[in-house]
Structure 1
Amino acid sequence: MSMSGASCDILVIGGGHNGLVCACYLARAGLRVRVLERRPLVGGAAVTEEFHPGFRNSVASYTVSLLHPKVMRDLRLAEQGLRIVARPYANFLPLPDGRALRLGGGLAESCREVARFSARDAERLPAYYATLERVAEVLRTLLLETPPHLGGGLFEALRAVRIGRRLGRLDLAGRRDALDLLTKSAGHWLDGWFESEPLKGALGFDAVVGNFASVYASGSAYVLLHHCLGALDGRPGQWGHAIGGMGAITQAMARTAASLGVDILTEAPVARILTRAGRAVGAVLADGREFQARAVVSNLNPRLTFLELLEPGELDPDFVRRIQNWRCASGSFRINLALAELPDFRAAPGMAVQDHHRSGILLAPSLDYLERAYWDARTQGWAREPVIEMLLPSTVDASLAPPGRHVASLFCQHFNPQLPDGGDWDAVKEQVADQIIATVGRYAPNFEAAVLGRQILSPLDLERTFGLTGGDIFHGALSLDQLYSARPVLGHADYRTPVAGLYLCGSGTHPGGGVSGIPGHNAAREILRDWRRRKRRGSW
């Protein structure tokens, strides 16, 4: 039953996946929840839409790994029809010389593949993966916990000590590895392990996904580690395709939300968060409609929440300054393509569906290649030889394209959100898309002629369409100064904000970006704790 025009307990701004997750947990606890979504459909960046007649694809977010198993179970996503198919390989890396590297078809197979490039690296690969997993396993225990408020009294100090003890359970070598992965550059980390450029390029890709930074920038090793925190079907590091596209995830969440009584309003852009006596009490839409609530939860980027939706004066100047300096820039460019046929790679000939077509196809042949892409973008606006991950989801999901046809997702780095000399992304994005497609064509000669239609999303388009400030897919850089107890600002990493009754539940909170549902889950827990506390005091 719709609550439109009536007050509710909790108002959620933004119907992206974390907003939906948060709404579900709150409604399951018996609260009356309303979600306000700016676009005509919920899902945020995890949506599936038709982009060319007869062709559908995941528009922005494009692959599954970080979605937390607890969220999947609690929201009954499998019962709502969600099905995820694992990739045969994590990655297929075609090389300019006609060779290819395949990673992720099992450790023994990966070692055999790597041995074709370096016997030494093949010997070291099991230890490398074991090291990553040992540190990742410790960090996974922190994902569903609220970061401690450093300097926040005895209780918070004890929580911080407890977390420190978990890291302390690692032996000395493990603690050294954890320090390296939290502070070093991915380039230096990988150079210390391996000699094969293709292997380092393939592994280094995870360090530049959504991270507009040099692969040799301090802290980029953590971004690599962040992408190893997922565990599809309990298998760490496994990636998969959502049948029906990424929108299948958020539509399943929306069905669960509806079954719990959540009221979802689409085409409802919020213009302002209402406050009274320093407390959030509702929201005003762009069309003037007002919605009252006992508390408000924002799934938006912290910069949008604090700098655009609150009245000046609601926040102290120091907090405002820090939010103004919240770094948002992914350097990402997205293209969806309708294809007449599959790419025929020189490194793996044939247009019949093969395992490499069902995997993540990487154009990242070396760390130097990744580095040049970044510096091109810094100095010239975009990479002349872009870093590309291409998926062909129609190879496992025939519903996305007409018979015999296919769709491709191209997720590309590096593209400067702020073009030099005042350049305009709208003026150059078609040219840039041509260059990206031509880059793939150098590895698969039939590719350019196979393109029937395309959807282009520059960093500016990602911001305008999905509210990804600076095109940032993570709602804020995953750097050490913007993680854990400092995400988004030290003293407010517990999903609460300086405005009473206003909470955050998006990727700008712990543990950061990716389609995980964890920020929504954690925020709901903290909201319910406050709700029960205030209810006991009779203040709600």
Structure 2
Amino acid sequence: MTETVDVIVVGAGHNGLISAAYLAKAGLKVKVVEAYPTPGGMTSTTEVEEMPGYKVNDASIQPSLFRTTTIMKDLQLEERYGLKMKVIDPVHLQLNYDGSSLGLWRDAQKTADELAHWSRKDARELLELYRVVHAAVEIGVPMMQTNPVRPDIKQILKATKATLKHRGELLAIGRWMRCTQIEALEDSFESDPIKACLLIGLPFMSYDSDLSGWSMIYMGIITKYGVAMFEGGTGELPAALIRLIEDHGGSVQCGTPVEELVVRGGRVVGVRTDDGEELYARRGVLTAFSPKKVLRDLLPAGTLPPALERRVRHIPTRSRGFADMKLDVLCRGRIRMDRIEKWRGDGLDCRLPANGYHAYEEVVAAQAACKRGEVPAHVPGLMQISTALPSNRHFAPEGHDVAWFWSGLTPSDPKVGWDAAREEIARTVISQSDHFYEGIEELDVYHRVRLLPDIEERHFALDGSVYHVDPLITRFGPLKPAAGFAGYSTPVPGLFLTGSGTHPVAGISGMPGQNAARTMLKLFRREDKKGTAAHAVEEARHWDRVVEADESGALQESVR
């Protein structure tokens, strides 16, 4: 035994670090261990080893739900730790081949005014849809910001108050959320730009699946809270959190893969790293990565009863038939968007939003192709020029650009194999985007594609799922990641879960981390009040000594 703390957090992604920050601020001694050599997980910003002088955001860039929380205020991330955010408005542009574009603005009326260029009917329908979606956001967000099986009474009251306020919209909310995403769009709109825009960035479920319409709740997040980027790169979030953790006596140790959870007497009391070192925690171990991997692979066999083991095996991580990908394009020179900006004529820097440029039918066809195991003829997604944000100019040498492209529409099992799929997808995206991002094909000096196996390897995400659990509506709330494991605490004493695979959602929201920490602190306070606080290290020592005495006939004084 080399070290003892109050809580060990496994995984230095943003949710793990947020939990650690709350726990450390509450006075607990916290240690975060991370398998990768650098912290941040899917919120990291790193230099490209093959191209010195260029940096990329490794995965996410837009913390769309982060601004709905109190995390910035609670942890004083701006005032004390220098974290700054810039709202991007419009957050998305739908780029059309003829040079026109539709902006998805924070002001719903402004979006409707632009949409009227294609259809006045659609402009009216959009404002009506926003009215319903805003009601759903007010009702739903409070329940996202609490434990899904033991909700906080204050959040219940907020949701109840919002439900009463918007009781006139409840039927419309029900109709919208239970229908398919395609049905929701085609029932409301006739013009391609708005339908394509609201489909490209939201490929959570199959577009033709019942209940997939819920994904458009994102529209309400845009208008009510605004969507921002972290100034200086997404990695500024984990950097600020680490400064806070260290200020409160905690530590973050990278390059330390955890091989197994240490269980003594049915309780998780620590972790064993891949080099055999054991780290112990007096109060608990919190894991902040794929819950299926934690429960299936890191818990010693037999820890869970058979019924719960079966539930864990059936947590869906690759059931949709399509998967996410990330493409970075490093450029020697500046990407232009003259054609788009000239048509708009409003002085907007079109390089800054995360933009889509595929037609509605191309998006629908792409998802169908992925399910067949084919690389789509068009790979719909969102592209953004990272260096367009002034605070990110250091991502590339002066006068050069870095482009970020994300798609949720690549095959999860490509018939051509992963190597061929990488090459074909990169070629397709770069060549097709050149019409809108002028010069990108010629300026490309290095690009990197990360498909499902690459995401799994880089981010330790089982089956390359950035969601950790497939984002099916049937897996939300008390069923995420599975029944019996949804409240951040688990049936195994001393083991807690957080991360994208726990309530409520993936993406840069921080809510799973905040909720998990609050759950743990409540439990610890109850234990302290009752005098039943677990002292896991002492229990582990006693357990080891008894076992060794039984096996050798003599009590050993050392812990193995």
TM-score if structure 1 supplies the norm length?
Answer: 0.90
Q: Deviations over 1:41-73 (max 9, x none)?
A: 111110001123211121111222211441111
* C-alpha contact (below 8 Å) 2:201/2:382 kept by paired residues: no
Distance change (3 Å), C-alpha of 1:470 and 1:442: farther
1:354 Cα deviation (Å)?
4.6
- The DSSP-based 3-state class of the residue aligned with 1:53 is coil
**Aligned residue in 2 for 1:34:** 31
**Aligned residue in 2 for 1:325:** 314
Query: Counterparts of 2:152 and 2:257 in 1: how far apart (Å)?
Result: 40
* C-alpha contact (below 8 Å) 1:182/1:480 kept by paired residues: no
- Are 2:179 and 1:180 aligned? no
Please point out which of 7, 12, 15 is paired with 1:18: 15
1:191 Cα deviation (Å)?
1.6
**Aligned residue in 2 for 1:277:** 265
Distance change (3 Å), C-alpha of 1:25 and 1:199: same
Query: Counterparts of 2:484 and 2:70 in 1: how far apart (Å)?
Result: 27
1:172 Cα deviation (Å)?
5.0
Query: Counterparts of 1:490 and 1:166 in 2: how far apart (Å)?
Result: 28
Please point out which of 492, 496, 499 is paired with 1:499: 492
**Aligned residue in 2 for 1:356:** 350
1:99 Cα deviation (Å)?
2.7
1:346 Cα deviation (Å)?
4.1
Distance change (3 Å), C-alpha of 1:315 and 1:182: farther
Q: Output the amino acid matched with 2:508.
A: V
**Aligned residue in 1 for 2:83:** 82
1:230 Cα deviation (Å)?
4.2
**Aligned residue in 1 for 2:399:** 404
Query: Counterparts of 1:315 and 1:127 in 2: how far apart (Å)?
Result: 49
- The DSSP-based 3-state class of the residue aligned with 1:342 is coil
- Are 2:440 and 1:439 aligned? no
**Aligned residue in 2 for 1:475:** 468
**Aligned residue in 2 for 1:526:** 519
Q: Output the amino acid matched with 1:83.
A: K
1:184 Cα deviation (Å)?
2.0
Q: Output the amino acid matched with 2:310.
A: R
* C-alpha contact (below 8 Å) 2:83/2:237 kept by paired residues: yes
1:246-325 matches, cutoff 5 A: 246-294=234-282, 295-325=284-314
Query: Counterparts of 1:318 and 1:160 in 2: how far apart (Å)?
Result: 32
Q: Output the amino acid matched with 2:37.
A: P
1:105 Cα deviation (Å)?
5.9
Q: Deviations over 1:304-351 (max 9, x none)?
A: 11111011111122222222221224611101111222143644459x
* C-alpha contact (below 8 Å) 1:35/1:264 kept by paired residues: yes
Query: Counterparts of 1:245 and 1:157 in 2: how far apart (Å)?
Result: 34
Q: Output the amino acid matched with 1:287.
A: D
1:166 Cα deviation (Å)?
5.0
1:207 Cα deviation (Å)?
2.5
- Are 2:213 and 1:221 aligned? yes
**Aligned residue in 2 for 1:137:** 138
Q: Deviations over 1:109-134 (max 9, x none)?
A: 32221111101111222222121111
* C-alpha contact (below 8 Å) 1:228/1:237 kept by paired residues: no
Q: Structure 2: which 5+ residue stretches go unaligned?
A: 534-560
Q: Deviations over 1:434-481 (max 9, x none)?
A: 121112124345221121222221111111100222222221122222
Query: Counterparts of 1:458 and 1:97 in 2: how far apart (Å)?
Result: 31
* C-alpha contact (below 8 Å) 1:223/1:478 kept by paired residues: no
Query: Counterparts of 2:489 and 2:177 in 1: how far apart (Å)?
Result: 25
- Are 2:432 and 1:419 aligned? no
Q: Output the amino acid matched with 1:335.
A: L
Question: Could you tell which deviates more after superposition, 478-487 or 98-107?
Answer: 98-107
Query: Counterparts of 1:390 and 1:228 in 2: how far apart (Å)?
Result: 19
Q: Structure 1: which 5+ residue stretches go unaligned?
A: 150-155
1:8 Cα deviation (Å)?
1.0
* C-alpha contact (below 8 Å) 1:10/1:31 kept by paired residues: yes
Distance change (3 Å), C-alpha of 1:195 and 1:127: same
**Aligned residue in 1 for 2:541:** none
* C-alpha contact (below 8 Å) 1:206/1:223 kept by paired residues: no
Q: Output the amino acid matched with 2:269.
A: V
**Aligned residue in 2 for 1:71:** 71
Query: Counterparts of 1:26 and 1:172 in 2: how far apart (Å)?
Result: 38
Query: Counterparts of 1:440 and 1:496 in 2: how far apart (Å)?
Result: 45
Q: Deviations over 1:60-100 (max 9, x none)?
A: 11222211441111122213121211223121111134432
Query: Counterparts of 1:148 and 1:170 in 2: how far apart (Å)?
Result: 25
1:46-61 matches, cutoff 5 A: 46-51=43-48, 52-61=51-60
1:539 Cα deviation (Å)?
2.8
**Aligned residue in 1 for 2:104:** 103
**Aligned residue in 1 for 2:124:** 123
* C-alpha contact (below 8 Å) 1:346/1:444 kept by paired residues: no
- Are 2:378 and 1:385 aligned? yes
- The DSSP-based 3-state class of the residue aligned with 1:358 is coil
- The DSSP-based 3-state class of the residue aligned with 2:184 is helix
What is the count of residue pairs matched by the alignment? 520
1:336-351 matches, cutoff 5 A: 336-339=328-331, 340-344=333-337, 346-348=339-341
CA RMSD of aligned residues (A): 2.5
1:292 Cα deviation (Å)?
0.9
- Are 2:200 and 1:205 aligned? yes
Q: Deviations over 1:394-435 (max 9, x none)?
A: 112322222111111000131122234xx5324531232112
Q: Deviations over 1:371-414 (max 9, x none)?
A: 10101111133322011200112112322222111111000131
- The DSSP-based 3-state class of the residue aligned with 1:267 is coil
**Aligned residue in 2 for 1:455:** 448
Q: Output the amino acid matched with 1:326.
A: I
Q: Output the amino acid matched with 1:355.
A: D
TM-score if structure 2 supplies the norm length?
Answer: 0.87
- The DSSP-based 3-state class of the residue aligned with 2:66 is coil
